[in-house]
Amino acid sequence: MIETKRLKEKLAGKIRFPEDISTKRTLIGAVVRSPIDHGEIRNIKIPEIPEDICLITASDIPGANKISVPGGSMPLLARKEVTYRGEAVLLAAGPDRETLDLFLEKIEIDYDPLPEWKYSEEKEETAGPARRIIKGDPVEALEQSAFKVESAFSTPLQRHLATPLLSVHVKTEGQKFTISSSTQWPTNVIQNCSAVTGVSRANFSIKLNPLGTPLDSKIWMPSLVAAQAALLAQKSRKPVSLSYSAEETLLCSPMRIPVRFHCEAGLDESGKLQALLMDFQIDTGSHAMLTSEILDRICIGTAGVYQCRNIKVTGLAYRSNKPPLGAFSGMGLSQAFFAVESLTDMLIARFIEQQKKDIERLIAEAVAAGDDNKLKSARTRTTTDPAIWRSRNFLIKGNTYLSGGKLMKSPPLDTVLEKLVSSSDFTRKHAAFSNALSKREKNGGSSFARKGIGLATAYMGSNFLRRERGLFSATVIGRLDKEGRLNLTTSSVPDNYALLKLWRQSAADILGIEESMVDISSDEENQIPLAGPATLSRNITVTTRLVSQACEQIKKRRFRDPLPLVVKKTYQNSSSRKWDTEKFAGHPFQELSWGGCVVEIEIDEMTFSPVVRKVWYSIDCGIILNRDSALAEVESETMQALGWCFNEDPERIRYWKLPGIDSLPEIHIDFTESSSRTANALGGIVLNTFPAAFRNALSQAAQSQFTSLPVRPEDIFTALEDR
Amino acid sequence: MNIICNVNGKEVAVETRPDKKLSAVLRDDLNLKGIRKGCGTGRCGSCLILLDDQLVASCLVPAFAARHKSIVTIEGFSQTKEFSDIVTGFKEAGVHLCSYCAPARVLSTAYMLRKHIMPTEEQINDIISSVQCRCSSFSHLKKGIIQASIHFSRRKDNG
Amino acid sequence: MAKLNRPPVIYSPTTIQDLLKIYHLNPDALIYAGGTGLLSGAEGDILHIRGSVINIAGVEELKKINRTDRYLELGASVPVSKVIDLGKSIVPEALYIALKQMGPPQIRNMATIGGNICRQANTMDIFPILHLHDCQVELRRFREYRSPRRFLKGSGSKWIPVSRLIDNDGKIIMESGEILTRIRIPNENWTFESYRKIDGPGSPLIFTALARLDKHILTDIRLSYSTVREKLIRNRDLEAEMIGRRVPFSGRDLTLLEGKLEAYFKGTGESSFTTARASALTIQFLEKISEPVDEGRV
Ligand SMILES: Cc1cc2nc3c(=O)[nH]c(=O)nc-3n(C[C@H](O)[C@H](O)[C@H](O)COP(=O)(O)OP(=O)(O)OC[C@H]3O[C@@H](n4cnc5c(N)ncnc54)[C@H](O)[C@@H]3O)c2cc1C
């Protein structure tokens, strides 16, 4: 019932966002931004400031002029150098937009343009974090390999939508600040507001507005916007509403980080993976925010899901004159798996090619020798295929991660793959499409449609690698009052009624109370000192667990201790799965989910566009908390992935279209709920598997290896022309 | 400029610049916050309203073009029985929408169902394209719209 | 930061006479039809419109739809969605398909036919269709006649083929103070009409085609292509070469035609990618008209 009421409110547009809040006294905030990509601020000419206008420059900031996350920071206002178009230079607030704009028009800022940052090894200013990990002797192993493949791959940046816009409302009462924000990371907002204003954390409280579908666009940016507004509120002693326009939101939002890979791999005679050498560079934008986390995740991901004794991974991040990049759901694993799963397919193709030649040779020899038995045995020999090869090379219990930690049990990859292959009929189709295409090329006719089928397998790791409290931990506070009402306070409240219902249900079940007696609220009073953001499935995996732990403890104590009873549960680094960021050693992920994807594609030979006809997934992400939401999530992530692979143009800031319902493929999903008794990450599995499966299918259909995303119709045309 | 129009059934007069976006007039001057601030190009659909019964993007409509017109926003529409039909339909189909785009989805669905009470697949797909958001699953939405259409026509049949 | 201007002066005529007169006196005013083609800026709460605006939405005459047995006549301010609502049996097939694909529904409700024709855009969705259908458009402007005896005021009206609306560079040419008021689409029986707009990633291409058959003889065919570089590519020689031929085309004929088309396209400076797309669409159309004709359609 609570859900129906909330659903009604939501559909009736009654849910409020920060930009909806306004009072008579509220000042409107604005940001003056750099119009150039890179330059030095030569001079700022400010006219006389009217009484009703509040203006802040970098030197007016009482606290630190920066926004920080564990492992990274960016300036709040540019002091001397601007490093991306749209970087904030000045803050201002006024009674209304018109008065404010009239004043701002009179401000003159002179810039000396500087050359755009181009990455090169010698230039220190463009250097970001880097990693180099070597396991075994990959160079020697590659040398010894019977089959080798070398290829470059690249993945593009992906933009967030403008909506919901970045906005915040800050209210002040004496030294106290109340911040209304749509943020994935409330404790980071408070931390940064406190740091820039120089006011103690205890003076800040936060009201959380819903997030929309942030997909990580609202990890650190809301902290920046909130800190800007807090400064204006502090100086003007008035409430401030700061709402970025669509243009500003698009300009400053982080984006999926672009990566360039150079990869080499080798197989032995029998097809076993011998060596894997993965070298990559990521563009972190002007400042590295969560870049080291993303870099490490890519390092781990590029090692793939296969046994290999000799691996070398080198990765580095370089700075460019784009806004700080990186936050887009998945945080690096999707790029990594695109590269390694594409490379794997190329390797397998080489191996199959050799197997075919061997068979032809054996047949020819048998014919020449007139040996019927030999001929028979040669004719019955089969080649491998991408599914069979994978199943022979999957990681198993006892293998180690790139970082050294041992896999404590075998991943459910075999089951995942088996289901996937049987539901999609992969093996038969792969062979049939190959045959049809080679016949077509031989005959020069076009009676067979250009079809391809591709496969990819991967995992998704929930939560962060870095185990700092401010990133990794989460807290739930349960309070049972005298009337038997339970209040659960969490560090963030998801905009997902299915999940809220689940928490409420689970609490009600444990305590044997009515669901309507359970309230869930966000931590508005700042009781939770530090917690990480709502991302990487942390709400589903971590908070769900904390809710039941808190309730179990209340259940135990409720007839012993006086009411109200307060229990606090915090999620911390587990002792059995330690991770050492410094040394890049240990167990990278607390929980993993596993999945595979098969994509069937046909090339439209009139438009040279890939038409994704059908997609199959097989996913093991532990318990499925809500099937409907899970199916919906897989579908919407598929469309995101399709946008990244084909439809979205990363160069166009404004007028690009998301893939629409007309490009929605038929999707089949198989959930395996066997491997874990907990709910693990579902978000991310699609983006980690679909792109490579898409590429692999398209490469089969065009009989040409594509190596960069997005694949453009022009690329497909060129590939077909070249044949 | 003084703009007189009918908003959600009531005559209103607003003093505003003629070139102010109607979406801003409705949000700021009339406090109708169910209209979201969106892309400003008419594409994302966050600011959809019914203007003389036609679905339009209010961010592209200047205030002067709304003179003497009738406007229905989600605030007005949510008072109707049709709104309940859509809520029920969406709920039955397990449609999950984010709070930002949800009102626009409802209004565009209503517009389409008023025009085509038994919509074809093409008509459903078309109306889905009126809102761009990364939150929803198209197939759930489609199911939701079909469910809503059943409730719509059932209520019409019952008078 | 949005630069604030003085608010524009708005004129809201209700008759064509008033409209023409106001425009005559304010030739720099912006004609505001549906307002969807103005791209007046996403930033801020104010649309960036300068000077004065003539809102033509109140002119009822411009919203009229008229049908005779010779033509379908659309007022310039008829919204795209209203034309779609007329249905397939009234609106020529290619136009119907094109209008249905134009933007999301909220845009089609606002956008007008006249606005679509008059917008200086890169690729034009409906212009090529009107062109192939030999449509006429009416342009009107205010005119004063001075005769010795009396002082006459009236409006100058002229009907021109739609093709004369654009110059060689594909720019819309209208005289100062001139308004597009009506569009006349002849009622002609085409056996086949085709419209394809490829506007996903990659360079966009619009292909429009009409063909008429009489007892397996191709009596008329018209083909047009719009790309980012060229608003309208039409090769009448190629059309003439096909007219009078018997369908189905033989495989050899198709290959020959394809070769000629490709050569022509390359000559216009289009990329081989666009050429390949255009040629594939054309061949598909020619194959379609070669299929056994459904008698009911002729
Ligand atoms: C999200 C979105 C999607 C779109 N998708 C498409 C699409 O798929 N295909 C497409 O073709 N267009 C598209 N457009 C562009 C635009 O909507 C159309 O071209 C539309 O038909 C313009 O009509 P309008 O009535 O809105 O014109 P307006 O914007 O009012 O006017 C456009 C221009 O024409 C002039 N004008 C208008 N009427 C007359 C007249 N009677 N006489 C003289 N001059 C006149 C105006 O002064 C102005 O310069 C899209 C726009 C948006 C915002």
Pairwise pLDDT comparison (A349 vs C121), residue with the higher score: A349
Task: Specify the number of domains making up chain B.
Answer: 2
User: What's the CA angle centered on C194, arms C191 and C198, to 5 degrees?
Assistant: 175
- A262-317 tens-digit pLDDT: 999 999 999 999 999 999 999 999 999 999 999 999 999 999 999 999 999 999 99
Distance in angstroms (rounded) separating the CA atoms of residues A156 and A222: 24
Tell me if C44 and A245 make a contact (CB, 8 A cut-off): yes
Q: Is residue C261 within a helix (H) or strand (E), and if so which, with residue range?
A: helix C251-267
DSSP letter string, B86-152: HHHHHHHTT----TTTHHHHHHHHHHHHHH-SS--HHHHHHHHTT---SS--HHHHHHHHHHHHHHH
* Residue A642, amino acid: L
Distance in angstroms (rounded) separating the CA atoms of residues A369 and A687: 53
Q: List the residue whose alpha carbon is closest to atom 3 of ligand 1.
A: C103
CATH number for the domain spanning B50: value is 3.10.20.30
Distance in angstroms (rounded) separating the CA atoms of residues A530 and A192: 12
Domain that holds residue B9: 2-77
CATH number for the domain spanning B148: value is 1.10.150.120
| A469-572 topology per CATH | Aldehyde Oxidoreductase; domain 4 (3.30.365)
Residue C1's pLDDT band (cuts 50, 70, 90)? very low
CA atoms within 13 A on the CB side of A557: 18
Give distance in angstroms: CA of B1 to centre of ligand 1: 25
Q: Is CATH 3.40.50.670 what the domain over A383-463+587-721 is classified as, yes or no? A: no
Do B91 and B68 share a structural domain? no
- A552-585 tens-digit pLDDT: 999 999 989 999 999 999 987 777 778 999 999 9
Q: List the residue whose alpha carbon is closest to atom 38 of ligand 1.
A: C115
Give distance in angstroms: CA of C104 to centre of ligand 1: 13
* Sheet containing strand A592-604, strands side by side: A451-461, A592-604, A609-620, A666-671
**Which residue in B39, B103, B137 is closest to A635 by CB distance?**
B137
CA B56 to chain centre: 8
- A198-218 tens-digit pLDDT: 999 999 999 998 887 788 889
Distance in angstroms (rounded) separating the CA atoms of residues A435 and A433: 5
Please say which residue of B53, B77, B101 terminates a domain. Answer: B77
Structure tokens at A233: 């509120």
The answer for residues whose C-beta is within 8 angstroms of residue A74's C-beta and 6 or more apart is: A66, A67, A224, A286, A287, A289, A324
Q: Residue C44's closest chain A neighbor by CA?
A: A245
Greatest C-alpha distance within chain A? 103
Give distance in angstroms: CA of C115 to centre of ligand 1: 4
- A55-89 tens-digit pLDDT: 999 999 999 999 999 999 999 999 999 999 999 99
Q: How many residues does chain C have?
A: 298
Chains that touch A (3 or more CB pairs under 8 A): B, C
**Chain A (492-531) residues lying within 8 Å, Cβ to Cβ, of chain B:** 495-498
**Chain C (165-204) residues lying within 8 Å, Cβ to Cβ, of chain A:** 198, 200-203
Do B45 and B13 share a structural domain? yes
| Alpha helix stretches (DSSP H) within A589-708 | 627-642, 685-702
What average pLDDT does the segment A695-719 reach? 96
Do B73 and B12 share a structural domain? yes
Do B129 and B88 share a structural domain? yes
Please say which residue of B62, B77, B92 terminates a domain. Answer: B77
Q: Does B112 touch chain C if contact means CB atoms closer than 8 Å? A: yes
Decide: C197 in ligand 1 pocket, CB within 6 A. Answer: no
Give distance in angstroms: CA of C76 to centre of ligand 1: 11
Give distance in angstroms: CA of C52 to centre of ligand 1: 18
Q: Are A699 and A345 in contact (CB under 8 A)?
A: yes
Q: Does A639 touch chain B if contact means CB atoms closer than 8 Å? A: yes
Write down the pLDDT at residue A3.
Answer: 76
Q: Are B127 and B88 in contact (CB under 8 A)?
A: no
Whether residue C296 has pLDDT greater than 50? no
- C221-279 tens-digit pLDDT: 999 999 888 888 899 999 999 999 998 888 888 899 999 999 998 888 899 999 999 99
Please say which residue of B23, B56, B77 terminates a domain. Answer: B77
Q: Does B103 touch chain A if contact means CB atoms closer than 8 Å? A: yes
Please report, for chain C, the start and end positions of each structural domain, with discontinuous segments joined by +: 9-55, 62-186, 192-289
Do B68 and B131 share a structural domain? no
Pairwise pLDDT comparison (C298 vs B92), residue with the higher score: B92
Q: Does C47 touch chain B if contact means CB atoms closer than 8 Å? A: yes
DSSP strand pairing (A273-285 vs A310-319): parallel
Which CATH homologous superfamily contains domain A4-116+165-252?
Answer: Aldehyde oxidase/xanthine dehydrogenase, a/b hammerhead (3.90.1170.50)
Pick the CATH number of C62-186 from 2.60.40.2130, 3.50.50.60, 3.40.50.300, 3.30.465.10: 3.30.465.10
The structural architecture, per CATH, of the domain C192-289 is 2-Layer Sandwich (3.30)
Tell me if C109 and B20 make a contact (CB, 8 A cut-off): no
Nearest Cα neighbor of C116 from C158, C81, C142 is: C81
Q: Does B33 touch chain A if contact means CB atoms closer than 8 Å? A: yes
- List residues bridging with A28 in a β-sheet: A94, A241
Residue A107's pLDDT band (cuts 50, 70, 90)? very high
Decide: C116 in ligand 1 pocket, CB within 6 A. Answer: yes
Tell me the best of C11, C22, C31, C124 to mutate to test the pocket of ligand 1, counting ligand atoms within 8 Å of each CB and taking the most: C31
Neighbours of A122 (CB within 10 A): 6
Residue A46's pLDDT band (cuts 50, 70, 90)? very high
Domains A4-116+165-252 and A469-572 agree in fold = no
Structure tokens at A429: 């189709």
Q: Does C37 touch chain B if contact means CB atoms closer than 8 Å? A: no
Distance in angstroms (rounded) separating the CA atoms of residues C8 and C274: 43
Whether residue C149 has pLDDT greater than 60? no
- C182-226 tens-digit pLDDT: 999 999 999 999 999 998 777 889 999 999 999 899 999 999 999
Residue C150's pLDDT band (cuts 50, 70, 90)? low
Q: Cis (ω within 30 of 0) for the bond into A164?
A: yes
- A598-652 tens-digit pLDDT: 999 999 999 999 999 999 999 999 888 888 889 999 999 999 999 999 988 887 7
Do B97 and B55 share a structural domain? no
Please report, for chain A, the start and end positions of each structural domain, with discontinuous segments joined by +: 4-116+165-252, 383-463+587-721, 469-572
Across A359-363, A649-653, A693-697, B85-89, least confident range: A649-653
Query: What single DSSP character describes residue A685?
Result: H
**Which residue in B41, B106, B129 is closest to A654 by CB distance?**
B41
What average pLDDT does the segment A426-445 reach? 88
Give distance in angstroms: CA of C39 to centre of ligand 1: 9
Identify the residue among B32, B39, B92 best suited for mutation to test binding to A, counting A beta carbons within 10 A and taking the highest. Answer: B39
Do B94 and B30 share a structural domain? no
Q: List the residue whose alpha carbon is closest to atom 49 of ligand 1.
A: C119
- A184-196 tens-digit pLDDT: 999 999 999 999 9
DSSP strand pairing (A474-480 vs A565-571): antiparallel
Do B90 and B66 share a structural domain? no
Q: Residue A650's closest chain C neighbor by CA?
A: C201
Decide: C83 in ligand 1 pocket, CB within 6 A. Answer: no
Report the atom number in ligand 1 closest to the C-alpha of C33: 30
CB contacts of B39 in chain C (<8 Å) are 42
The answer for residues whose C-beta is within 8 angstroms of residue A561's C-beta and 6 or more apart is: none
CB contacts of A712 in chain C (<8 Å) are 201-202
Do B102 and B34 share a structural domain? no
